[in-house]
A and B are shown apart, each in its own frame.
Chain A
Amino acid sequence: MPKTIIEMKGISKAFPGVQALQDCNLNVQEGEVHALLGENGAGKSTLMKVLTGIYHADCGEIFFDGKKVTLSSVIDARDLGITMIHQELNLLTNLTIAQNIFIGKEIKKGPFLQENAINEQSKELLKKVNLPVSPETMISSLTVAQQQMVEIAKAISYHSKVIIMDEPTAPLSSSEIDSLFTLIREMKKNKISIIYISHRMDEIKKICDRATILRDGQYIATVNVSDTPLSDIISMMVGREITYIRKKRDKSKISKEEVLRVENLCCGNKVNNVSFSLKKGEILGFAGLIGAGRTETARAIFGADIPDGGIVYINGKKVSIHSPYDAVRCGISYLSEDRKQQGLIIEMPVEDNITIAALGRLKKHLGFVDFKKCGEKAEEYVSMLRIKTPSLRSVAKSLSGGNQQKIVVAKWLLRDTDVLIFDEPTRGIDIGAKDEICELLIQLADIGKAVIMISSEMQEIMRVCDRILVMHEGEITGELDAEEVTQEEIMKLASKIEGEKV
């Protein structure tokens, strides 16, 4: 009987308006690779944040090596031997490998740092993770894969018994993944346990011993990976009663007129030969996992990033877009997933935010702002979209997420573009507002807008869209009709499992 190193029992955690975790369990044995599976928003990262002391659970118990523990900070968790390697690596790029590994536990003689000592010790650690570079190398000159190795070396330096890896293979090439797996197997031999979070099902089969599945914040099951078919795991992840009714959209609202056509769009390594077309009155969904290149595709079309290649046609005419200014003039708008940083001018009043994109049309001669017209238009959209705000002069920051999102929608409706690209429009807003936003998208299409919706919530995309494109690693892996599609089909294309029946 293998020894249990971590036992989480009945963990619950609520945030205002959301029950993120409800009675969740996790049992990790010594020296195993344990997969933690679930859709985006299933509660994986919240559970891991509880385990690493970032969040404090509302109820539930955590046992480490058989003893009950309370984790009130990252340092508590680290001292016990639990470390997390985040998807966004936390290295200081302008310091050396050794300085990063020993940050916070520098070796000193009196007030002086002993660089030689940390370099010596780092050399040992780097040997353990098979990274043949000098400990004095700057982090900035390493590849992402190498930086990940440094993170692992750092975790080992804390004598970690449990290492949590969040999507470690997302930025890696296949040979880099192989060497990561070799390292993971070696760590297993040294009785280090790994909690492995990944969306790539083929990797789960390859490297993991057991898997715990979460869904909507609830514990579903823990299974032995080797004797459970992947299709069962996937249906455990997504399989739930369909909780929404897809309203039959009046197909006649979709006109034959093609508004937008994109051919062979390429941008960096995140967008690869993306081609699609969009009709007036149609809602096109972009499904896929986080990091699949959907946001990057939208940004390239919008001119927020400059594409490396590809042609964009608007109403059949070829256009060249070098900046968001060009895109808006061509009739494309983009509602960013990062509402607070990129969608809103957060410190400015509601009215100024709604009118900012259309000011060119709301001016009198000599460039004077037509304050009266601005006020009227803002008022009109506030009541039309039912934006709840104390006044038009209230600062955007003071409103709730759903109302902030509506301000961004109002901004672009006032600007009146033909194509609207919504990037994760319902992220971080409560359920009621989510519904409203979804309905709004359908209404927009009904009045003849061409709508693109990027969403990681499959249900939402299936409910709202007419047609769904699935992306995986910068490429479109499939096109599906939203009326007939199942979540399994989307998941399969999004994680690109081939050869296995789902």
Chain B
Amino acid sequence: MKSQPVFELDDIAVYFEKHAVSQRSLRHMLGTLTGRNGQEYFHALRDIRLTIGPGEHIGLIGRNGAGKSTLLRVLSRVITPREGHVYVRPDLHIVPLLELGIGFQPDLTGRENCFLAGLLMGYSESQIEARIDGIRTFSELGEYFDEPVKNYSSGMYARLAFALATDVEPEVLLIDEVFGVGDEFFMRKCVIRMQRLMESGRTTVLVSHNLDFLVMHCDRLIWLDQGRMMMDGEPAKVAAEYRGSGGQ
């Protein structure tokens, strides 16, 4: 089991209906059924074949809209692809930190949200209770920890999410843009914690525009463009090709 892949993606395709707002009505549905409306789609991912092994550190790179965040959502099982097959090893704690947020309920306090999200990640209340002081300290929220998260600034929100996701020491960590967390001082703390987690053998998949960090810390880089995998391989080589493409 230990050497079994953590993720296996086979011919994945994710696409969204265009003009989705008008498509949410009975009128549109009736039009579709009678053939009056044509279906138009925006492809976020297509033909993705990918295997990620235990302990691997993967960096996802690409321009805005390339499909990096969508791929992370597929890996975290938030999105079920329209086509293809996804295998996710069932015995691991997988913690997604998508767009620097976890499933936080805006009206609940930071503390309550830690329990809520922690339970969803598969931890018990006592396990979260044991870590709550560490999360509070790392997030530097002080008395705001017991305030509703809807009153947080975006930096505070991201700090709490990052503190929770990394303090519970998941076996698999999926992070969308780790370098967007808080101010410069807090970001340094995050980088150190990320390095420690990566060195301790956790599987990590990172989306970032900081190529230097990814080249230095990842085993593989995957370059996505317009939903397709352009390259998957040794970080320095993929980064050079990506840079050389000039974003084309």
Q: Is the A/B pair a real complex?
A: no
Report A's interface with B, CB cutoff 8 A: none
Report B's interface with A, CB cutoff 8 A: none
